Amino acid sequence: MISKYLNPYTDFGFKKLFGEEASKDLLIDFLNQLLPPQHQIAQLSFKNPENMSDTLDERKSIFDIYCQSNTGERFIVEMQKAKMQFFKDRSLFYSTFPIRDQGKKGLWDFYLLPVYFIAILDFKYDEKEDERKFRRDVCLKDQDGDVFYNKLHFKFLQMPLFNKQEHELETHFDKWVYFLKHLEDFDHIPAILNEPIFQKGFDIAEVSHLSSDQYDAYLKSILSYNEAKAVTDTAFYDGKTEGKIEIAKTMLSEGFEISVIAKITKLTVDDIEKLK
């Protein structure tokens, strides 16, 4: 049964809430909870994702957002819902796109705009439980902990680690995280979120407001999300099996029978089928 509201972790739901012109005010309000005072967004525009055609399939739910603060300072936010496999590598790789795109032909002094990489994670990437943090803000520092470069920042939200209940929400940021984490589970707007910005979010996310084509696209997005989630939920991509997975992928590409691959790698037939 489809929920009343979109799943914001799906490609479709994420883009509907944060990647369209009609929802710019939602995006600005959310991002301003994460950005420092000097980079509170007054205006923003989306970079055309088609310009990233070399990795378009991977980047369909990654938004390069060109921003201007109230004081006129310009900066870039790259926002995405991250995938689990090689998460840190992906984050570093994708953060280079808005940096690389600032390059200019001819004489150029290499001046760069600040870049914030913001990832909403529906999984836990910290292996040790006692080291897990819901929110992690990362920048380049030296051996003494002093900031070395203040124009590249990573902000990661491990959503499963946010456990506040409705009566425990203290800040506007808390409300945003609660909204995103539980959106698909709501059947009405809770009192704590009954304010204009979230009312608009609920309105945009209501499945009944989708056109027939949009609804079909959402169903496909749910299917893709659930398939990927099933893999990560069984720890299929944990460190112990990564080597076996790479071997299985290679054997599949070479045309080996699944039964042979299972025998060699000790992976299950179902696991290998998921790699196709």
Does the pLDDT value for residue 83 go beyond 50?
yes
Residue spans of the domains in the chain: they are 11-233, 242-274
Does the pLDDT value for residue 54 go beyond 60?
no
Contact 261, 267 (CB under 8 A): yes
Does the pLDDT value for residue 52 go beyond 60?
no
Does the pLDDT value for residue 58 go beyond 80?
no
Least confident of 36-40, 92-96, 148-152: 92-96
Does the pLDDT value for residue 270 go beyond 60?
yes
Residue identified by tokens 């808005």 is 98
How would you classify the pairing of strands 135-141 and 147-158? antiparallel
pLDDT above 90 covers a percentage of the chain that reads 57
Q: If you average pLDDT over residues 228-256, what whole number do you get?
A: 67
> Cα separation of 63 and 264, whole Å?
41
Residue 265 CA neighbour count, 13 Å, CB half = 26
> Cα separation of 240 and 83, whole Å?
18
pLDDT attached to residue 274: 83
Nearest to 274 by CA among 252, 265, 133: 252
The pTM (predicted TM-score) of the whole model is 0.79
pLDDT attached to residue 43: 94
Least confident of 55-64, 81-90, 128-137: 55-64
Contact 127, 147 (CB under 8 A): no
The tens digit of pLDDT for each residue in 11-23 reads 999 999 999 999 9
Angle at 14 between CA 12 and CA 16, to 5 degrees: 65
Contact 262, 268 (CB under 8 A): yes
pLDDT attached to residue 192: 96
Residue identified by tokens 């897990």 is 132
10, containing H or E segment:
none
pLDDT above 70 covers a percentage of the chain that reads 89
